[in-house]
Amino acid sequence: MKSLQECSNEKQCASAVVFLKDGKCEIFAEVYPHYRNKKSKNSDSPSTEVTKHSEEILIGQIDEYLQSNGIHVQSILFYTLNSPCLKREKHTDPCMFKLVEMAHQWQSKFGFSTVVAFTKFWGLSGPNFFKDLTYSDISSPSSDFYPYIETCKTIPFKLNSKDFRNNVKKRSIYNTIPYVEVSDKRKLDNDIKSALRDLVKLAESSFGLRKEHLERGEEKISSFTFDPLVQDKSFEFLTKNWNEMVTNCSMSPIREKITTDFNIAVVFLFLKELKSTLGNSSPLRLYCVPQNWFREYVKLIKILYVDHNIM
């Protein structure tokens, strides 16, 4: 048996083991998606685009291998870090559909079934499906996502100081305070710049629950001193923007939880439909395995293939 290598903990890849009838097996090394650079619409810098998923690359390699060796195959165990996609752009068939199609062809031609194991639920588009969901979208009790605010309130999160800087710059504190009435404008400018630097620094180091972030911001802002003519307005402006940043950043764990639940539900719905259509005779079976899959995978091969020789 050739040695196996584990896929990176975070980088999507796929690999497979083809078990042969003579007691041997063929290992297909991990493959990674193909990318190409493309011009971003909103930026001069290029971004990357996936042109071929790791699953479809591996499917092609396995299918080519089976053309000469299919009659010797007992079964196939296929692993992909993320569950095969269920949606593709540009009229490309999703990897899940391709796997069902190819597993059916392989079973019809060679008589074996295919097992697909994965660690993370990808659903329709992975972690980005709810990327544009905002707090205002879910803050109403009538929203289906409203309960997630309570569910995720004990999950700590980081602050994004860029969010704070952009809002402060866009709104400008000078549009809020009676700047022209201040006698020492240079001192006020320096005080405001110093306060903003301190708040950005605090945001970059702040990690915790929503309440903790709000309290830290309130404590820091109350420590500043501005010209008495603008102090109250300055505090109000800084507090409003700080609290808005905290609210926006609190969506990070909420979006992650919603996305995870949604992706799991989508994959299970697909499996339910697959079972209702093909029943127990389905040529493809899917299993979710833990992050430390590699060790368990080796144990599985040993138990099923070596010790008991039942494959």
Name the band, by pLDDT with cuts 50, 70 and 90, for residue 311: very low
Arithmetic mean of pLDDT over the chain: 88
Which of the residue ranges 85-94, 134-143, 292-301 would you say has the lowest mean pLDDT?
292-301
Same-domain pairing of 123 and 221: no
pLDDT tens column, 215-262: 999 999 999 999 999 999 999 999 999 999 999 999 999 999 999 999
pLDDT at 91: 78
Same-domain pairing of 270 and 123: yes
Give a yes or no: residue 148 inside a domain. Answer: no
Output the CA–CA distances (angstroms, integers) from residue 231 to 132, 149, 216, 225, 279, in the order listed: 35, 33, 19, 7, 71
Same-domain pairing of 28 and 58: yes
**Boundary residue ending a domain (202, 226, 249):** 249
Rounded to whole angstroms, how far apart are CA atoms 36 and 94?
19
Same-domain pairing of 83 and 186: no
Using left for φ > 0, alpha for ψ between -120 and 50, and beta otherwise, residue 275 falls in: alpha
More confident residue, 20 or 303: 20
Cβ neighbours for 248, distance < 8 A, ≥ 6 positions apart:
134, 135, 160, 163
Give a yes or no: residue 144 inside a domain. Answer: no
| Tally of structural domains, the chain | 2
Name the band, by pLDDT with cuts 50, 70 and 90, for residue 310: very low
Same-domain pairing of 32 and 108: yes
Same-domain pairing of 108 and 160: no
Rounded to a whole number of angstroms, the distance between the first and last alpha carbons of the chain is 15
Q: Is the pLDDT of residue 308 over 80?
A: no
Same-domain pairing of 212 and 291: no
Name the band, by pLDDT with cuts 50, 70 and 90, for residue 47: low
**Boundary residue ending a domain (204, 223, 249):** 249
Q: Is the pLDDT of residue 18 over 70?
A: yes
Give a yes or no: residue 302 inside a domain. Answer: yes
The residue range of the domain holding 298 is: 14-129+262-307
Q: Is the pLDDT of residue 1 over 60?
A: no
Give a yes or no: residue 224 inside a domain. Answer: yes
For residue 137, what are its two tokens? Answer: 């979208």
pLDDT at 9: 55
Bridge pairing between strands 73-82 and 114-120: parallel
Share of the chain above pLDDT 90, in %: 69
More confident residue, 43 or 140: 140
More confident residue, 48 or 308: 48
pLDDT tens column, 124-154: 989 888 999 999 999 999 999 999 999 999 9
pLDDT at 134: 96
Same-domain pairing of 69 and 104: yes
Give a yes or no: residue 147 inside a domain. Answer: no
Give a yes or no: residue 202 inside a domain. Answer: yes
Same-domain pairing of 215 and 266: no
Give a yes or no: residue 255 inside a domain. Answer: no
Give a yes or no: residue 257 inside a domain. Answer: no
